[in-house]
Amino acid sequence: MKLASLFGIEAVAFLLIIAETYLFFEFVVPLGPIPHSLPAYTGLALLKLLLSVGLVALWFVVMIGLTRIYVRARIRNAPKPSS
């Protein structure tokens, strides 16, 4: 049972990967036809890049948050040293 919270963190990581892969291929990739002018193409490429970086940042924020919660819970429940 001590590892249940770690398994939970791994399950959340897996579900985030699946969900973000779906979001990437459903929304980021098909953002319309490729424009034939350089400014429009650059703008679309930058938008896709920002959306991709946002998905990666979301994954890291959630994982770091869950890890901090786990570590705080382990520190709080750690045995006190006897003097």
Q: Residue 47's pLDDT is what?
A: 92
Q: Evaluate whether residue 49 is within a structural domain.
A: yes
Two tokens, residue 56: 């990666």
pTM, two decimal places: 0.80
* pLDDT for residue 1: 63
Domain residues for the domain of 12 are 4-75
Q: Could you tell me if residue 30 is inside a domain?
A: yes
Position 67 scores a pLDDT of: 94
pLDDT along the chain (83 residues), means of 10: 87 95 91 88 93 95 95 86 74
pLDDT of residue 83: 66
Is 81 a member of any domain? no
Q: Please give the tally of structural domains in the chain.
A: 1
H or E element at residue 50: helix 38-76
